[in-house]
Structure 1
Amino acid sequence: MIHYNEIKANVRGVYETLKKLMPFPQAISTSINSFLSSIPVEQILHPSRTFSSIEEVVDLLNEELSEEVNIIVEDGEQHTIFDNKDHIEWYKQKKAEDAINFRFWPRYKKYLNHIKGWATSTVENLDKTTDGIIELFEDPTVKNRAFDRRGLVVGYVQSGKTASFMGVINKAIDSGYKIIIVLAGMHENLRQQTQERIDEEILGRDTSIKAEIKRIGVSTLPGETYYPIDTFTESNYDARKNGDFNLKKSHGTPPTSDRCIIFVVKKNKSILKNLIKYFKGWIETFDGDLVYEDRDIKQFNNLPLLIVDDEADQASVNTKPHINTDGEEVDPTAINECIRELLQLFRQKIYLAYTATPFANIFIHHDRPHTILGKDLFPESFIKTLDAPSNYFGPKRVFGLNDCEEFGLPINRTISDSGLKESDFVPLKHKADYTPENISESLREAIDSFIISSAIRWFRGQSKKHNTMLIHCTRYTSVQNKIAQLVKEYVEKLSDHIINHDADTIKKLKNLYEKDHLPTTISMYEASHCWNDILPNFSKVIRKLESNCLIINGTVGDILDYANKKETGLWVIAVGGDKLSRGLTLEGLTISYFTRTTSLYDTLMQMGRWFGYRTGFEDLCRIYTTKKLYDWYRNISTAFEVLRAELIEMERLRLTPKEFGLRIISHPDMMITSTMKMRDSIPLRLNYKGTCTETTSFPNNEKVIESNYQCAESLILGLRRPDINEKDKIVWLNRRVSIIEDFLDNYQTYKGLPAANSKRIKQYLETQRAKDITDFDNWNIALITLDNSQKKDRVISFSGHKIRPVSRSLKEEASDKLFIKMMTDKIDEVVDLDTDPRHLSRKQIRKLPGRLSNPLLMIYVLNVTDYGRDDVLQFNKNIVGFAISWSDGGNSVDMQYYVNTVYQELDLNEDEEN
């Protein structure tokens, strides 16, 4: 089924592009037809009505789209894994009781609607998402109650994470959090960008002006006012005097329970040490219920702290070993130490990490505290994933996924004259003194493409929207400066030719338009432009772009001043390296020329500044890169989606980050993150070949036991008549693997154990199929029953078959787990084979010809008895387990991962149990 609102959202996105290309009725009609042409009406689900014909759908879409305006971001889904230990739910109840004095959030909500132009449904979705995050905090108004919550929010690169934490901060202030510290990346330009957002969307005043309160953003809305909040950081950027925190800026103002203080700071040791010094200085002067003392510990009390760590996988993660070779404790790296020291100063604290590349955060050791600094920044309390909205221009859409027929959008342009070992222009390996003599032919084409895309955007009415081209070829600033000079020379020459109507230049641009832009737009939207419509805009583009080739690397005073160009739009070519690699938003990024190589998943993904929202010009975007980098981006996109699936599975099982081991797919030519951040992870090669995988741990949960019983019943009923039906053998032969995968999809294994895990076994099968391995295409299935000689076990009916359940004794019982030592018997593994197993080992059985052709799934209906007793545990249904006997021959592909410390601990426990 496909939801009507999903269709409507997709249609609306296409219409926003097409409305500048054709009359309104034609644009609407083309948009609707592009999505409805292949969807049967019975597959369309509407929340309040049933369609009898596709024409009714078309009429409703026409009616609603005619009335709607200003959509920015459509709804996405969220998934949360949280630890409720010592956590008291509070926010929703207080909100329902009208017990929170909301001032900041309603103002921000109105700002998003009226100034940012967000649709009402989008704001409501953000409201719901941020409510969910705040609920995972603790109530800051409860006096003298200590709390320490550490969580992680995982989004996509440039998908709107900043809007999320702006919403969280506004609600945190309303709820009573008094100290807000935003760790805004490592560079001043990123801190500046974040400060400007906070000025606009939280403070409501321009912090660059000290003499007076200049109201901006949220406080300028009709009916709204300015609410005083202390802040000792500023939005003005000056190379000699930046706006970051220092002790002088606090003007001797203490933290107070009367109102909130917000700090927007870089992850810089000296800055954070100054901040620690500020708090330590004041804590010595406080007394009463604002201070808590216990032996040598002195903490702020009833001054609840919220630390929001943006780009939390950068600098925040400890990269040192926990102990040295002499067994002595080692202090962590500087930024990690400062963050933990800040947290230690407060008795009530929340650490909220945000990142799109959470690999390093997941690899933090979950249970290795420091003597003085306490526990590390592992997100033990919760992990929340934010799904990308349908109009998000992200890795999966742009590059596609491995082992999938979807190859991404048709906007990638492979280059071979730059970024490679043998390239003349910025070869793969070069030094800081490298001097490129001429720009490559592919870079010339990329600049030409930028001119064409810009002219089309002008025609579409986007001349006052920001418009950027990225050139990122090297980490060396000196080489970046030389590239920028060559680019400026080429653009100046191109400008002269366009203004003077040079015939060869116009012909070159037209050829590129007809070869590239025209077919790409048609393939994506089934519509395009007329060359004569865009030709007059080339000279306008050139004039607007004039002198706007900027070098963004810290050695030159250029800055991307989008804020002061909001009314007219900044059109710019940005040449740079590290400063363009993470966090910094390149507004309206249209063309990217990217050849810088790194083998780290997180670094490479963050360098992809082209991700985000490109409403109205997706078809005009281009990514010029090498074939190697294109393939690597597909690999990373796949690894990230698999990780998200793991997090969703963790939520389904209602487990905490300390109960569910996480793993990340590895790649032979790449590293997930730096080796120092992976210090506590270990590699894992998962292959079930030659093993017997069995469920020996079961959830001690009546509903799950009943659900698994019904899952197994459905499987057996669907198989119909057995191929072997003897007194102690009920077997089906040569059944499709899809039947097995459906069963694994619905069966709930205990706590996501690393090996005996239904979802991970299914992933293993999918991996084999994707590699064209056919050894797992056909299966044998057995319903295990005791033979008639064992009269003590009563006969029951299971899916129409008379069976004697298998008796097993409980070896361990916990509040949430039932554990038996072993479920299978050697004879069970040959139930589908005409073989006497008495003189064979289990290993030998798995090498038999019959097993080599088909794996065997065994279903066990169990009578589980209590420790050393004959009393069967009483549930509404029997416990049902499964086992798989895998062949020890044939073809298979290892699934290669790195796993975190939680996974390692669970894996060790599973090995010990078995």
Structure 2
Amino acid sequence: MVTSSANTGVRSDTFYPKLLELNNYDETMQQCITKTVEKLQSEDTSKRPGMLLGKIQSGKTRTFIGVMAYAYDNGFDVVIILTKNSNALAQQTTERLTREFKVLIENELMRVYDIMKLPDHLKKYALRQKLAFVVKKETKNMDRLRKAFFEQYPALTEKKILFIDDEADLASISFEKDKESNIVELRTIASKIDKMRADLADSSFLQVTATPYSLYLQPEDMSVHEFKKYEPTRPAFTELVPIHDKYIGGEMYFENSQVDGHMAQFLFEEVTESELDVLRKIDKRRTRGDSLIKHKNVLSMRKALVNFLVGGGIRRWQQKQLQQKQKKYSLIVHTERGKGAHAWQEYLMTILEEELKIAAEGNHPVFKELIEEAYFNILCSLTTIDVIIPSFEEILELVREALIEEEVTISIVNSEKDVDQLLDETGQLRLDSPFNIFIGGQILDRGVTIDNLIGFFYGRNPKQFQQDTVLQHSRMYGARPLEDVAVTRFYTTPYIWNIMSKIHEFDSALREAFERGGHDQGIIFIQKDLANKIIPCSPNKIMLSQLTVLKPHKRILPVGFNTKSKTAIERTVNQISQLLNEAERMSSLKDDSSFTISVELAKEILSLAHSTVEMEDGYVWDISEYHSVLDYLTKEVDQNPESLVWIVRRENRNIKRIDNNNKFENSPDTPKGERGELTVARQLTSHIPALIMLCQNGLVENKWRGAKFWWPVLVVPQNITTTIYSKKTTNL
């Protein structure tokens, strides 16, 4: 039976059916929306809010708008949407709500207001409608909201209100310690939200985020006295936003990239630390001499520009052949926060584009060489899927025309004013040309939508990486057609790529724990203290740039190195062989050609192997981390009372240092076959870790230095609870 709300007179089945008709939510999404509202009505969210948990760029806004509509139909009168402190995001949210609820607004059933533009004299007629207020998480906005409810329109305080905290993070529920009193208190914005909710008659609170770790990982007891699973301080409930089949996230960039033959193998383009230094500040001495389209100090930026033109050109050619609308494409350069760096990068990119245009107009050989290099680079990933592919000559002419006809736009985006001027009518960054390059800093990661992104040049390298921040920076995530992904390139240093890979792994491990639910499904957090002992730690102390995720059967190995000279390491290599031979002879636990050794001997062997190699720029082999992980896996985990490590030894190997994709080899262990060393190691490691020791011949023709060396691969036991190990901790 259709009823009406006593407060508004609006039919109770008005909003959601209209939105369902517009957005065509599938059954899974509908279940998420209806369950969320049902739980908001049945659960107490006065102290612990409900959580709508999605992934970066996965359709969270679309979902919470559905929640709004269903909430309106089920007794809620007012929705307050809290956005990040960004004019662009507030505008984007307001315009999207206005667009999606257009029919209901035109029928005077609903009104949408930016709180800072709220009229001073609303009549009862307006206040009887369903209302939506968009509020930036900023002091003036919060004060304006409170004034509207408790001074101008006190009738609103008696209505049923839903707070939706979009991009919920530390700004919403966060604590800081007073240095003098040592008392931990809510930060200013969080306090204002908390006070507002407490003073209202009937309110519910829903947080929407893809980076919930600052919300979940807040221990009620800040001190941990024994090894135990960390049970997150959970919201009152958690609903997971369904992930659609077009979603591209960390799995593509950091997991699939390890799969032979997958397009993801070709997406990462390495940037040197020295080039990032060149891009950080104006220094024309480091770019003088050769023209920029030949200069070695801007190699990656040049590749980013040319690959972008070729990749976008291929997609536009494909769309034209298929009689589809040709899309406009975007490339982001995000390496620094400072405006001086942005101006310098714009200068360099503009000069690169101008020189490329001159070379195209003059038909110079360098133009053809650069386009040809980019074309065959993009072809590596493009040929992994079934698509039509233009000839090189077609793309050469297409890029030439794009440059000559000035189809490339380069824009700096580093202030709220810049973003406001660059937004389109939907609140997204406007794509003015077929090829759009945005250079900026933090403003680019604040939830502003950037369509058709096929290039991401990332160099933010803070001393301490924050989980929530780095994930928000990952603008290459989102709903992406595979045809676009196939021409996408991600540019960063090996060091940053490795950190982002760790963060993805951490994100996945925690998400899995949340999905499993239950108080017995936690995560163990450990650290190494100043006395070199492994101790439990609170997860809010984890330093993400120095963490290792330990999961069942995970491989941990050094990558990105060369050996020292033969004369420098020959004696050490022989010493490792002798230690292994003696250990095999003395071992009391053997299995075919495998045997066990003490953890202390395993650590000694690892240290010797470590001393024989030199790491390449941007790559790290922290031997103390390996020692600590081994200590934890053998001394702190049950069912290994003798602290043993399995050894799986193989010799006379001739692996190449650089693989077929021109990347450092990262799979020296053979994954297939009954007697492949990785297969054997995983069969042995139910409770005891394994150390695969591979003696490589190090041939010069394989780009080594002609010296034998041992390459270790550590394999985590199968029966282990997911564990986050951090070498260092941060201060509260």
Please indicate the TM-score interval, normalised by the length of the shorter structure.
0.5 to 0.7
Deviations 1:526-584 (A, max 9, x none): 86332234344325534776462111111863643344798987641000000112312
Q: In 1, distance between residues paired with 2:112 and 2:441?
A: 31
Q: 1:381 aligns to what? A: 236
| Secondary structure, aligned partner of 1:136 | helix
Q: 2:494 aligns to what? A: 627
1:530 counterpart (377, 388, 391): 391
Q: 1:479 to 1:649 in 2, by over 3 A?
A: same
Q: CA deviation at 1:386?
A: 2.9
1:353 counterpart (201, 207, 216): 207
State whether structure 2 residue 86 is matched by structure 1 residue 232. no
Q: 1:12 aligns to what? A: none
Q: 1:109 aligns to what? A: 20
Q: Unmatched 5+ residue regions in structure 1? A: 1-90, 114-121, 205-217, 234-243, 291-299, 369-376, 669-674, 689-732, 735-766, 777-842, 855-884, 900-914
Deviations 1:179-204 (A, max 9, x none): 211112111112122222112112x1
1:440 counterpart (263, 273, 298): 298
Q: CA deviation at 1:310?
A: 1.3
2:143 counterpart (254, 257, 273): 273
Does the 8 Å CA contact 1:433/1:479 hold for their aligned counterparts? no
Q: CA deviation at 1:255?
A: 10
| Equivalent position amino acid for 1:575 in 2 | I
Q: 1:508 to 1:567 in 2, by over 3 A?
A: closer
Aligned positions of 1:831-870 closer than 5 A: none
Q: 2:116 aligns to what? A: 245
Does the 8 Å CA contact 2:261/2:384 hold for their aligned counterparts? no
Q: In 2, distance between residues paired with 1:191 and 1:436?
A: 40
Q: 2:445 aligns to what? A: 581
Does the 8 Å CA contact 1:545/1:572 hold for their aligned counterparts? no
Does the 8 Å CA contact 2:174/2:186 hold for their aligned counterparts? yes
Q: CA deviation at 1:452?
A: 0.4
Q: CA deviation at 1:332?
A: 2.0
Does the 8 Å CA contact 1:148/1:349 hold for their aligned counterparts? no
| TM-score (structure 1 length as normaliser) | 0.52
Q: 2:477 aligns to what? A: 611
| Secondary structure, aligned partner of 1:587 | coil
Q: 1:533 to 1:431 in 2, by over 3 A?
A: closer
Aligned positions of 1:537-686 closer than 5 A: 537-542=398-403, 546=407, 548-554=409-415, 557=418, 559-563=421-425, 571-598=435-462, 599-615=465-481, 616-650=483-517, 653=518, 678=540
Q: 1:124 aligns to what? A: 27
Deviations 1:18-44 (A, max 9, x none): xxxxxxxxxxxxxxxxxxxxxxxxxxx
Q: 1:411 aligns to what? A: 266
| Equivalent position amino acid for 1:530 in 2 | S
Which protein has the bigger helix share?
Answer: 2
Does the 8 Å CA contact 2:455/2:490 hold for their aligned counterparts? yes
Does the 8 Å CA contact 2:452/2:484 hold for their aligned counterparts? no
2:59 counterpart (150, 160, 176): 160
Q: In 1, distance between residues paired with 2:168 and 2:132?
A: 18
| TM-score (structure 2 length as normaliser) | 0.64
State whether structure 2 residue 724 is matched by structure 1 residue 897. yes
Q: 1:533 to 1:557 in 2, by over 3 A?
A: same
Q: CA deviation at 1:432?
A: 12
Q: 1:431 to 1:397 in 2, by over 3 A?
A: same
Q: In 2, distance between residues paired with 1:569 and 1:844?
A: 61
Q: 1:634 to 1:845 in 2, by over 3 A?
A: closer
2:175 counterpart (315, 319, 324): 319
Does the 8 Å CA contact 2:525/2:538 hold for their aligned counterparts? no
Q: CA deviation at 1:231?
A: 3.1
State whether structure 2 residue 49 is matched by structure 1 residue 138. no
Does the 8 Å CA contact 1:155/1:354 hold for their aligned counterparts? yes
Aligned positions of 1:172-211 closer than 5 A: 172-202=71-101, 204=102
Q: 1:426 aligns to what? A: 279
Does the 8 Å CA contact 2:81/2:133 hold for their aligned counterparts? yes
| Equivalent position amino acid for 2:15 in 1 | F
| Equivalent position amino acid for 2:113 in 1 | F
| Secondary structure, aligned partner of 1:603 | helix
Aligned positions of 1:434-833 closer than 5 A: 440-461=298-319, 464-499=326-361, 501-514=363-376, 516-525=377-386, 528-542=389-403, 546=407, 548-554=409-415, 557=418, 559-563=421-425, 571-598=435-462, 599-615=465-481, 616-650=483-517, 653=518, 678=540
Deviations 1:508-536 (A, max 9, x none): 2023212x012221134486332234344
Aligned positions of 1:283-298 closer than 5 A: none
Deviations 1:192-221 (A, max 9, x none): 22222112112x1xxxxxxxxxxxxx56xx
| Equivalent position amino acid for 1:425 in 2 | V
Q: CA deviation at 1:410?
A: 2.4
Does the 8 Å CA contact 2:640/2:688 hold for their aligned counterparts? yes
| Equivalent position amino acid for 1:346 in 2 | L
| Equivalent position amino acid for 1:318 in 2 | S
Task: Give the number of the structure whose alpha-carbon radius of gyration is greater.
Answer: 1
| Secondary structure, aligned partner of 2:128 | coil
Q: 1:312 to 1:452 in 2, by over 3 A?
A: same
Q: CA deviation at 1:897?
A: 3.1
Q: In 2, distance between residues paired with 1:534 and 1:687?
A: 46
| Secondary structure, aligned partner of 2:247 | coil
| Secondary structure, aligned partner of 2:64 | helix
Q: Percent identity?
A: 20
Does the 8 Å CA contact 2:267/2:381 hold for their aligned counterparts? no
Q: In 2, distance between residues paired with 1:482 and 1:612?
A: 29
Q: In 2, distance between residues paired with 1:853 and 1:190?
A: 54
Does the 8 Å CA contact 1:152/1:382 hold for their aligned counterparts? yes
Q: 1:478 to 1:423 in 2, by over 3 A?
A: closer
Range 304-313 or range 171-180, more displaced: 171-180
Deviations 1:655-710 (A, max 9, x none): 6xxx8655679899xxxxxx99937999999999xxxxxxxxxxxxxxxxxxxxxx
Q: 1:309 aligns to what? A: 165
Does the 8 Å CA contact 2:550/2:724 hold for their aligned counterparts? no
Q: CA deviation at 1:364?
A: 3.2
Q: CA deviation at 1:263?
A: 1.1
Deviations 1:645-664 (A, max 9, x none): 111211xx4x6xxx865567
Q: 1:161 to 1:324 in 2, by over 3 A?
A: same
Q: 1:106 to 1:403 in 2, by over 3 A?
A: same
Q: 1:336 to 1:105 in 2, by over 3 A?
A: same
| Equivalent position amino acid for 1:316 in 2 | S
Q: 1:783 aligns to what? A: none
Q: In 1, distance between residues paired with 2:269 and 2:723?
A: 28
Q: CA deviation at 1:107?
A: 2.1
| Equivalent position amino acid for 2:373 in 1 | N
Deviations 1:292-320 (A, max 9, x none): xxxxxxxx33x111111111114213231
Q: Unmatched 5+ residue regions in structure 2? A: 223-231, 530-536, 552-589, 592-624, 648-685, 692-713, 727-732
| Equivalent position amino acid for 1:625 in 2 | T
Q: 1:250 to 1:146 in 2, by over 3 A?
A: farther
| Secondary structure, aligned partner of 1:183 | strand
Q: In 1, distance between residues paired with 2:257 and 2:688?
A: 27
Q: 1:680 to 1:587 in 2, by over 3 A?
A: closer
Q: 1:434 to 1:579 in 2, by over 3 A?
A: farther
Q: CA deviation at 1:405?
A: 8.2
| Secondary structure, aligned partner of 1:633 | helix
